[in-house]
Amino acid sequence: MTKVSQVEFVKADNLKVKPDPNSLQFGKVFTDYMFEMDYDIEEGGWHDPKIKPYGPLSLSPASYVLHYGQAVFEGLKAYKQVDGSTVIFRPEKHIARLNTSNERLCIPKIDEKLALDALTQLIELECDWVPEKEGTSLYIRPFVISVEPYLGVRPSYHYKFLIILSPVGAYYSDGQLNPVKIYVEDEFVRAVKGGVGHVKTPGNYAASLLAQEHAQKKGYEQVLWLDGKENKYVEEVGSMNIFFKINGEIYTPKLNGSILPGVTRDSVIELVKVWGIPFHEERISIEDVFEAHKKGELEEVFGTGTAAVISPVGELRWEDKVITINNNETGEFAKKLYDTITGIQYGKIEDKFNWIKKV
Ligand code: COI
């Protein structure tokens, strides 16, 4: 197994000018360096880890990933805390999920300690790129692509594991914590049991684009996916998991093999349990959600995700029915979750959960 002490460092000739933290968007600007490691079956596995200047890759047009999409990715964030230190939020959990995705896509697993050390080393080098303004962070995008030039269908023999970094602001253009409008998708499906919905592979996102485009034309930011079999049970939103507050109790769809096990989802569940709020992880039909609204019991709906953090839902449309949630205002509970999670991330609230890894 490759040792992280063997990470080669290639120095950049010039460093870029860093963007204004007040005008950061999501995922448009990239830092000076990236991590890269290769896998070749002939060389006995993963080898030659290096940190090198951020720049284009040279790939054969026959690279496997370009034809059959054998690839996985992760998304996590580094924060500048109020005492000036740089931290990463739950990196071990993200790296473990990367390997779960690798396994499903027949990609050779990566040594998790090595990946974590490489990630930490890259963030340490790029710590001046972690923006200081609240609501901003350094988004970390690890990904693996299959690069063997081969057009037959079988797992590739060659891969690249890369980590790139992007200083970001809010994911949604309306800003953080502002309610979003969501369209309940009733034609297309995102995933089915036994498929790849529970892992982070690019095809899931490519397959969601048409539905998202249709929804956006109707004035909705995102779609809420229903199950792929009966088109009845709530699964997730394209870039986040979903939660409901009904009669003072919290509900989220149970992981069923087609829902992504979000790290922010997991953090929210831990908080809800510690706060002693009744919590239900179960199958939730969209009909029950609309019924709860009719009875005046649907208090809040919010999404959770690394990019989106906590994102209140102000309006839901399902077929010809439209409901407004909490007067299209940010709910108290979503705000409390947002303040607690970001409080821990920015070092204003003690991290009793061991979620933070100092760089
Ligand atoms: C994340 O929340 O990090 C994600 O990967 C969602 C992304 C597609 C923006």
pLDDT digits (tens, 9 = 90+) for 128-151: 999 999 899 999 999 999 999 999
pLDDT digits (tens, 9 = 90+) for 173-184: 777 789 999 999
Closest CA to 341 of 265, 276, 277, 279: 265
User: What is the C-alpha separation between 267 and 222, in angstroms, rounded?
Assistant: 22
Closest ligand 1 atom to Cα of 74: 5
ipTM score: 0.93
Q: Read off the tokens for 139.
A: 């988004």
User: What is the C-alpha separation between 134 and 145, in angstroms, rounded?
Assistant: 33
User: Ligand 1 centroid to 239 CA: how many Å?
Assistant: 5
Nearest CA to ligand 1 atom 5: 75
User: Ligand 1 centroid to 207 CA: how many Å?
Assistant: 15
Predicted confidence at residue 5, as pLDDT, reads 52
Cβ contact 73:199 at 8 Å: no
Predicted confidence at residue 305, as pLDDT, reads 96
Predicted confidence at residue 172, as pLDDT, reads 79
Higher pLDDT, 176 or 64: 64
Across 75-101, b (16+ Cβ under 10 Å) vs e yields bbbbbbbeeeebbbbbbebbbebbbeb
Most informative mutation of 72, 97, 239, 259 for ligand 1 (most atoms within 8 A of CB):
239
Percent of all residues in the chain with a pLDDT value above 90, rounded to a whole number: 93
Predicted confidence at residue 21, as pLDDT, reads 93
pLDDT digits (tens, 9 = 90+) for 273-332: 999 999 999 999 999 999 999 999 999 999 999 988 999 999 999 999 999 999 999 999
Backbone angles phi, psi at 139, to 5 degrees: -80, 135
The pocket around ligand 1, CB under 6 angstroms, is made up of: 75, 205, 239, 305-307
Nearest CA to ligand 1 atom 8: 239
